[in-house]
Structure 1
Amino acid sequence: MPIGVTGELCIGGDGLASGYFDRLDLTEKAFVPVSFNGGPPKRLYKTGDIGRRLADGSLQLHGRRDQQIKLRGFRIELGEIEAVVSKTPGVRQCAVVAAENKKGDQSLVCYVIPDASGTELVSAELSAHAKASLPGYMVPSFWVTEKELPQTPNGKLDRKSLQQRGVPQREAQVIRIKAANRYGREVAGDLAGRDAPLGDERR
């Protein structure tokens, strides 16, 4: 794969195992012959890990390819969403989980890490980028910027930890009402939870 392009990590070479013990079905699915530049096919193992090669030669893992969930009747591959979001300018890494609110309803939450450019990641822009390549039901409802993503002891993404955080709380917006008269100012004052500035009391 070209540098920066997200794909599935495959392993090959002399030390590659012959397959899964007594599981021909898994062996045929995971161990596949691949031909490079028209040469003889070589056997590769499909790890199921999604990642990309960076310009410095290092590998950046984004999670698993088989992170499939069912949300509102749709089957969703979380790795596909992460692959799209990771291409957004300013995004170094991301992770998508299906989190539950207090009622048990699930929503897609995307955690993003900014790259070294310092570009501010705006939820509306991230959502617009995702909508350009994904169907609506695969676009995350919540976007959370993080400095780092949690990892398991073996260095992989701790997706379960992100799920346990639940659905992020949206910030409440203050709605200002412009009153046209004295009565309107009284109503606006009550809605704001404070006394409205009034003139002389009506006699």
Structure 2
Amino acid sequence: MDDAQDHDALRAYFGDAYPQVARFAAELAAQGEVRGLIGPRELDKIWDRHILNSAALVPFLPTVGTIVDIGSGAGLPGIVIAAMRPSASVILIEPMERRCLWLSEMVDVLELTNVEVKRGRAEEFHGAFEADVVTSRAVAALDKLARWSLPLLAPGGELVILKGRSVATEIEPARKVLRKFHMSEPEILDATTLPGVEPTTVLRSRRRS
């Protein structure tokens, strides 16, 4: 996305969040490979494969409440969510110190006042707080992800995650843990952003009260 028309489309899509999101994309392009956050082949795909892929999740998220992103890594989708949902509290959980440092730097650089970075694995925070939504991107298969994520959900809260096209095959192995936490039947949703950008697959399930 290099020409003016594409940038106009991005500005229109992200609205007030565009300056922060664009700065984040620029920081990823400048530092992402060196700091081991993205591979060298990803540098020319930051907007399509990473930023817009993360943003596709946002319409399925509340505008307020607590959103937890586990395995935040480079901040995808957590930093993008925080920029696009400024009235929500966003918690980024990441076990690796160097990635937590990056996330904290991005919070400062982008002046995100609604973000808290927590170093550790999701399991370490079970019982520490309750989330309205738990999300993640490219972290683990659904059965493992559910075991890590669902204890963080408040009753009525939702698991809303970015997954690959084959996510339907992950549902059956995860049914036992989904039942344990009284989750609704998972929905598989196509999430679109801009014309010409490949749709993203989102899985959503609600924890019954």
Give the TM-score, by structure 1 length.
0.31
The structure whose Rg is larger is 1
The structure whose residues are more often strand, as a share, is 1
Identify which of structures 1 and 2 has the higher relative contact order when contacts are C-alpha pairs closer than 8 Å and 6+ apart.
2
Give the TM-score, by structure 2 length.
0.30
